[in-house]
Amino acid sequence: MSEAPLAGMLVADLSRVLAGPLVGQTLADLGARVVKVERTGAGDDTRGWAPPRSATGSTYFDSANRGKESLQLDLVDPADQALARELVARADVVIENFKPGTTARLGLDRDALLAAHPRLVWCSISGYGAAPGGADRAGYDFVIQATSGLMHVTGEADGPPTKAGVALVDVLTGKDATAGILAALLRRERTGVGGLVEVALLSSAQAALVNQLQAVLGSPTLEPRVVDPRPSSEPMRAGSAHPSIVPYQLLATADAPLAVAVGNDAQFRALCRELDVAALADDARFATNADRVAHRDALVPLLEEALAHAPAADWEQRLLSAGLVAGRVRTISEGLALAREVGLDPTRELHGPAGRGTTLASPIRIDGDARTSPIPPPLLGQHDAALRVWLTTN
pLDDT tens-place string over residues 167-185? 999 999 999 999 999 999 9
233 has pLDDT over 60: yes
Cβ atoms of 37 and 73 within 8 Å: the answer is yes
pLDDT score for 218: 83
pLDDT for 64-73, tens place per residue? 999 999 999 9
Task: Respond yes or no on whether the N-terminal peptide bond of residue 220 is cis (omega within 30° of 0).
Answer: no
Cα torsion 102, 107, 110, 116 to 10°: value is 180
pLDDT for 125-178, tens place per residue? 999 998 888 888 888 999 999 999 999 999 999 999 999 999 999 999 999 999
Bridge partners of 197? 123
pLDDT for 27-44, tens place per residue? 999 999 999 999 999 999
User: Which amino acids are annotated catalytic?
Assistant: 170
pLDDT for 306-347, tens place per residue? 999 999 999 999 999 999 999 999 999 999 999 999 999 999
Cβ atoms of 5 and 366 within 8 Å: the answer is yes
Q: What are the DSSP calls for 10-49, one per residue?
A: EEEE---SSHHHHHHHHHHHTT-EEEEEEETTT--GGGG-
pLDDT for 96-127, tens place per residue? 999 888 998 999 999 999 999 999 999 999 99
pLDDT more than 70, % of the chain: 96
Residue 169, judged by CB atoms within 10 A of its CB (0-12, 13-18, 19+), counts as buried
Identify the structural domains of the chain with CATH numbers, from first to last. Answer: 10-207+346-391 (3.40.50.10540), 248-340 (3.30.1540.10)
- The band of 229, judged by pLDDT with boundaries at 50, 70 and 90, is low
Q: Helix-strand-coil percent breakdown of the chain, rounded to 5?
A: 40, 15, 45
Rounded average pLDDT over 241-255: 97
pLDDT score for 369: 86
Cβ atoms of 153 and 212 within 8 Å: the answer is yes
pLDDT mean across residues, the chain: 94
pLDDT more than 90, % of the chain: 86
Non-local CB neighbours of 14 within 8 Å, separated by 6+ positions? 20, 37, 84, 94, 95, 96, 98, 108
> Can you tell me whether residue 71 is helix, strand or coil?
strand
pLDDT score for 1: 57
Alpha-carbon span 227 to 233, nearest angstrom: 7
Buried residues in 342-367 as b, exposed as e (16+ CB within 10 A): eeeebebebebebeebebebbeeeee
The helix (H) or strand (E) run that includes residue 348 is strand 347-352
Beta strands at 121-126 and 195-200: parallel, antiparallel or unpaired: parallel
